[in-house]
Chain A
Amino acid sequence: MRVLIVDDSQIALALLEKALQQAGHEVDAVTSGEEALKWVHKGVHRLIISDWDMPAPDGISLCRKVREISSRYVYFILLTNHRDSGHIVAGLSAGADDFIVKPFDPEELLLRVRTGERILSLESRDMVVFSMAQLTESRDRDTGKHLERVRKYAQLLTRQLMRFPEFADRIDDHFVQLIYETSPLHDIGKVGVPDAILLKPGKLTPEEFATMQLHTTRGAATLDAALERFPDAQFLKFARDIAAYHHERFDGTGYPRGLCGEEIPLCARIVAVADVYDACRSKRVYRSAMTHSAVVELIMDSAGTHFDPAVVTAFVQVANEFDRISREMADEPAIHFDELGTVPASAAIAPIMTPAGSLSP
């Protein structure tokens, strides 16, 4: 990471630079807040470490300026001799993310920088995942809040599974967080499915179904390409496994690879249940929505064939929560303006308006 360090003491600057460079960071060092602001305008640093006590602008003023100027989030660490709560409140109020007390211990410094990197990567990750998921959603208007609900179901299921002794060593809070963040990407490969197939209201022909099935491998390939560039990005591996294998079946009759049982990554086994539950509860142009109890029955009947029996057990235990999420996040009835012909927009909206102009129930 490229780090900007600011301190009017050459000695402190040299020590900071040494520790950061030794940890593999690229460092730009300046001795005043004024010089630092020139760098801030260039927007090349995501992490700044600045001394508090400097000739104006001091560290606090610099931090405030950074918050005003920067279009991206910049993680700001203040170096300080001030340990009292009054100063800490002042620093946090100015937008500082963390403090390091001088004289600093290099080990502590590097740990705090790593915390900053982690927070910055979370922000970038959320942004990327959200954008990619939105892209998928934009192709198929029928899916409504499907992605949002699936991530909630997947999170709920994973939390429940975490209580099972056999999953205790495989599922932790980080796993839950990853599944929440990456499950919306399960259908990312659908961006490559032609409209004629993706939006077809009737039953797909075998050829069309074969094309539709390719969304798993296409999604995985997209995420694999990203992984080549960022091999340490664990969330991408997670997202890839979900995209590739959420249509595998526990008995080995699924696609694309016909994996069975434990061969199917756990995250994909979880998302499979979440995805099917939501698809069944949602109305489609070619069929009506199923009731909660009907879907629960269907999923229970598929334990050991379609779904991992342990995941189904967890699902049954939290099924009422699934129903609640489904109701709370139900889709609004969709209006497809292009299906209304060339009528003016006001005329298209008119049928759902009351005479008083408010929305009808």
Chain B
Amino acid sequence: MSAGEERLDHSSPISPATSAAEPFEIAALLRRCMGDHEFAARLIEKFTGRLADTVKEIERGVEAKDWSSVTSRLHNLKGEAGSLAAVELASSAEEMRERLFDGHIHAASTHLLELKAAADRCIQFRFTIAKRLEQAASVALHG
């Protein structure tokens, strides 16, 4: 499967401000991985490798109005994204979950677009993450 095929289908354009920022906070990620950039790259690979499916499951849950399943998946997504310092994706998942909790179904459904965009940026980043992590680790090591 190519990068293009993995890209999520979303209609909201990515704003230049957000697209300029990296979807993972590299320094925080490295710290959580005890400075091991290869380990960090493997985790990102694993996370982004199934991210498209996760988002699709959330989307299907929204269509089926299976809110319990949607909130549970959003909770897990927020946890994993947060652990890997994918801040934008984590906060997007949390916002959507909060809106569902508050009963704002329509707002939550609209928020799905933002979530998909954030997830897509993470997926695209997997192709450059290894190099970025190596660079960051080198900078951390040599100053």
Residues of A close to B39: CB separation below 8 A: 14, 18
Stretch at the interface among B61-69, B78-86, B103-111, B128-136: B78-86
Cross-chain contact B43 with A11 (CB below 8 angstroms): yes
Residues of B close to A321: CB separation below 8 A: none
Cross-chain contact A105 with B32 (CB below 8 angstroms): yes
Cross-chain contact B83 with A11 (CB below 8 angstroms): yes
Contact with A along B9-28 (1 / 0, CB 8 A): 00000000000000000000
Cross-chain contact B76 with A9 (CB below 8 angstroms): yes
Within 8 A of A (CB), among B70-95: 75-76, 78-80, 82-85
Cross-chain contact A15 with B32 (CB below 8 angstroms): yes
Instruction: Select one of A8, A12, A15 contacting B33, CB under 8 A.
Output: A15
Instruction: Select one of B31, B75, B80 contacting A105, CB under 8 A.
Output: B31
Instruction: Select one of B32, B46, B75, B76 contacting A103, CB under 8 A.
Output: B32
Residue of A nearest to B44 (CB): A11
> A53 to B76, alpha carbons, bound, how many Å?
9
Cross-chain contact A18 with B34 (CB below 8 angstroms): yes
> A53 to B82, alpha carbons, bound, how many Å?
15
Considering only CB atoms and an 8 Å cut-off, how many residues of chain B contact the other chain? 18
Q: Would you call A221 an interface residue if the criterion is a C-beta within 8 Å of the partner chain's C-beta atoms? A: no
Cross-chain contact B34 with A19 (CB below 8 angstroms): yes
Residues of B close to A53: CB separation below 8 A: 75, 79
Cross-chain contact A15 with B43 (CB below 8 angstroms): yes
Cross-chain contact B83 with A103 (CB below 8 angstroms): yes
Taking the closest CB of chain B, its distance from the CB of A83, in whole angstroms, is 13
Residue of A nearest to B78 (CB): A81
Residues of B close to A106: CB separation below 8 A: 31-32, 34
Residues of A close to B82: CB separation below 8 A: 102-103
Instruction: Select one of B31, B36, B47 contacting A11, CB under 8 A.
Output: B47
Q: Would you call A10 an interface residue if the criterion is a C-beta within 8 Å of the partner chain's C-beta atoms? A: yes
Residues of A close to B83: CB separation below 8 A: 9, 11-12, 15, 102-103
> A11 to B31, alpha carbons, bound, how many Å?
15
Within 8 A of B (CB), among A78-105: 81, 102-105
Contact with B along A95-124 (1 / 0, CB 8 A): 000000011111000000000000000000
Q: Would you call A205 an interface residue if the criterion is a C-beta within 8 Å of the partner chain's C-beta atoms? A: no
Taking the closest CB of chain B, its distance from the CB of A170, in whole angstroms, is 38
Cross-chain contact B79 with A18 (CB below 8 angstroms): no
Residues of B close to A9: CB separation below 8 A: 76, 79-80, 83
Cross-chain contact A10 with B34 (CB below 8 angstroms): no
Q: Would you call A358 an interface residue if the criterion is a C-beta within 8 Å of the partner chain's C-beta atoms? A: no
Cross-chain contact B75 with A22 (CB below 8 angstroms): no
Cross-chain contact B46 with A10 (CB below 8 angstroms): yes
> A105 to B76, alpha carbons, bound, how many Å?
18
Most buried by A among B34, B46, B47: B34
Taking the closest CB of chain B, its distance from the CB of A196, in whole angstroms, is 62
Residue of B nearest to A7 (CB): B79
Residues of B close to A14: CB separation below 8 A: 39, 43
Q: A9-B79, A9-B80, A9-B83 are in contact. List 7 more A-B contacts (CB 8 A).
A: A10-B46, A11-B47, A12-B79, A15-B32, A22-B34, A81-B78, A102-B79
17 contacts between A and B (CB under 8 A): A8-B76, A9-B76, A10-B46, A12-B79, A12-B83, A14-B39, A14-B43, A15-B32, A18-B36, A22-B34, A53-B79, A102-B82, A103-B79, A103-B82, A105-B32, A106-B32, A106-B34
